[in-house]
Amino acid sequence: MIKKFMQKLACFVTVAAIIFSGVASYSPLNVQAEELTADEIRDKIEQLKQDNEDRENKINNLEGSIAENEEKKQQVYDLITGQKALMDYYSNLAYMKNEEVNAKQTEIDGLQTDIDNKQLDIEQTQLEIENKEAENEANLEKFADIVRTMYTTSPGDIFSVLFGAGGFYTMTIGGEVLGNISEKNLEFMNQLKTDIATLESDKKQFETDKQLLEEDKKALEAEKVILEEKKQEYDSLYYNATSAADEYQKQYNQYQADIDADELEKNNLEYLNETNQAEIDAFEEKLKEIIQAASKPDRPHQEGEWIWPVPGRGYITTYFGWDSYLSRWHKGIDIGDAGINGDPIYCSKAGVVIVAEYTYIPGYSYGKYVVVDHGGGYTTTYAHMSGVEAYVGQEVAQGDILGYVGNTGYSFGPHLHFEVRINGEPVDPFNYVSIA
């Protein structure tokens, strides 16, 4: 009782150590399998395999999720590529439009220079007009003085008025001179008037030119505004593409983060499965050792009688040898009396249990079955049981109950499939047993 408790405690401590020490410190050496029976090891292996299968399912789900996210990530990547192409496209258009705006501005600046020059021409002409007018005014003043003096002074004085008081005593014909002077003066004034008129005309032309230039400039400025609006439109489209690309980039990053998280979880599960597999391998190795130790193949064959495994039953449905019905070699005999289902199956001869398969595996031919090693290379097999009452490594005596007749495995009705083998080769059981 205490020994059993200690075994269970050791087992618990081992499992606890595996669980709490974490995966990294795990080593198959931790398997204290010598403390466990073959059946307990078998249970552990089953449990570990089940755990691995559960993790395998999770891994499959993660792989599905990763593949899905990879696909979405690729789709979003294509969208980003598309938006980046648009960004390049609109950025180019905006650049070219800006060049056009600058060219237009240069044109406008050129016109402005022309306008400024025209303005200078106008001002220059205006100045000339004013000078000519001042000259004309002065001349008119002077002429008026002469005429006034002519009518108010003596002819002698006129000379002194026109030529000053000194020096011109050689002048003899005063009237002629006076006439001449007035005529010259008129001519001069007429010339001034003509000059002024020409200048006025020039100025007018300059003003017209300037006005035309200003109209041209206005037209160019309107064109520039249109170009600038177009550029703004391209800038705005570029901005839209940038925001879209940013948004897709965020989605891309999220998918990548999800994939990374899934990959991490998957790697952890795979690592757990690998270490678990190492534990399974260690347990299986231990199980093999137990079975080998139990079966003692070099143990001498125990002489003596073999007993019929199902006393009172003797209806043979299939004999040893070629089974023409199933077209295959039948390795034992099938005992299938009506009502045999659930009958106890007795061990034919003393030996050690080397196989006790509890698990019903659908499609597996033997179903639940037991193999007993009798030493000297002799074994007996009891198959298609409904239940097993033996465990691997168990020493069994002749007549011990190994299990019960059933219909598990590749079987078409309750029966016992009984085999005798020598060094693994099936032989006819009737060479050893007789119906009893």
Is 191 or 365 the residue whose CB approaches Zn ion more closely?
A: 365
Instruction: Dig out the tokens for 23 from the structure.
Output: 């995966």
Name residue 244's amino acid: A
Among positions 118, 122, 306, 334, the unique one binding Zn ion when judged by CB under 5 A: 334
Residues in CB range of 3: below 8 A, 6 or more apart:
none
Taking 3-state DSSP, the helix, strand and coil percentages for the chain, each rounded to the nearest 5, stand at 65, 15, 25
How far apart (Å, rounded) are the C-alpha atoms in residues 73 and 65?
12
Binding segment for Zn ion (CB under 5 A), chosen from 90-98, 102-110, 328-336, 427-435, is 328-336
d(CA 425, CA 429): 12
> Of 338, 326, 370, whose CA–CA distance to 351 is shortest?
370
Residue 334 vs 357, nearer CB to Zn ion:
334
- Name the residue nearer to Zn ion (CB basis): 82 or 426: 426
Exactly one of 44, 118, 313, 417 binds Zn ion (CB under 5 A); that residue is 417
State which residue, 164 or 363, has the beta carbon closest to Zn ion.
363
Residue nearest to Zn ion (CB): 417
Q: Write down how long the chain is.
A: 436
In angstroms, rounded to a whole number, what is the distance separating the alpha carbons of residues 374 and 377?
A: 7
Window contacting Zn ion (CB under 5 A); options: 54-62, 333-341, 346-354, 402-410: 333-341
Stretch that binds Zn ion, among 70-78, 171-179, 272-280, 413-421 (CB under 5 A): 413-421
- Provide the sign of the torsion angle of the four alpha carbons 282, 288, 289, 294, taken in this order: positive
Task: Find the shortest distance in angstroms from Cβ 394 to Zn ion.
Answer: 24
Span of 43-51, 209-217, 306-314, 416-424 interacting with Zn ion by CB under 5 A = 416-424
CB 99 within 8 A of CB 310: no
Q: Which range of residues in 136-144, 204-212, 392-400, 417-425 is near Zn ion by CB under 5 A?
A: 417-425
Told to check if 419 binds Zn ion by CB under 5 A, we report no
| Stretch of 255-263, 274-282, 334-342, 399-407 contacting Zn ion, by CB under 5 A | 334-342
Q: Which is nearer to Zn ion, 266 or 415 (CB)?
A: 415
For 246, list phi and psi in degrees, rounded to 5.
Answer: -60, -45
321-330: Cβ within 8 A, 24+ apart: 321/428
**Gyration radius of the chain over CA positions:** 63
Question: Under rule CB under 5 A, how many of the chain's residues touch Zn ion?
Answer: 2
Q: State which residue, 231 or 331, has the beta carbon closest to Zn ion.
A: 331
Residue with Cβ nearer Zn ion (374 or 384): 384
Least Å distance, CB 330 to Zn ion, is 6
Residue 334 or 343 with smaller CB distance to Zn ion: 334
State the minimum distance, in angstroms, from the CB of residue 413 to Zn ion.
11
Q: Tokens 């060479």 belong to which residue?
A: 431
Task: Name which of 224 and 417 has its Cβ closer to Zn ion.
Answer: 417
CB of 318 to Zn ion, least distance (A): 6
Q: Tell me the closest approach of the beta carbon of residue 319 to Zn ion, in angstroms.
A: 10
Alpha-carbon distance of 434 to 427, in angstroms, equals 14
Buried b (16+ CB within 10 A) or exposed e, 58-93: ebeebeebbeebeebbeebeebbeebbebbeebbeb
What's the min distance (Å) between Cβ of 309 and Zn ion? 13
**Crossing angle for the helix pair 174-295 and 38-152, to the nearest 10 degrees:** 180
Q: Which stretch binds Zn ion (CB under 5 A): 114-122, 361-369, 391-399, 410-418?
A: 410-418
d(CA 31, CA 15): 9
Measured between alpha carbons, how far is 103 from 293 in angstroms, rounded to an integer? Answer: 100
Where do contacts with Zn ion occur on this chain (CB under 5 A)?
Answer: 334, 417
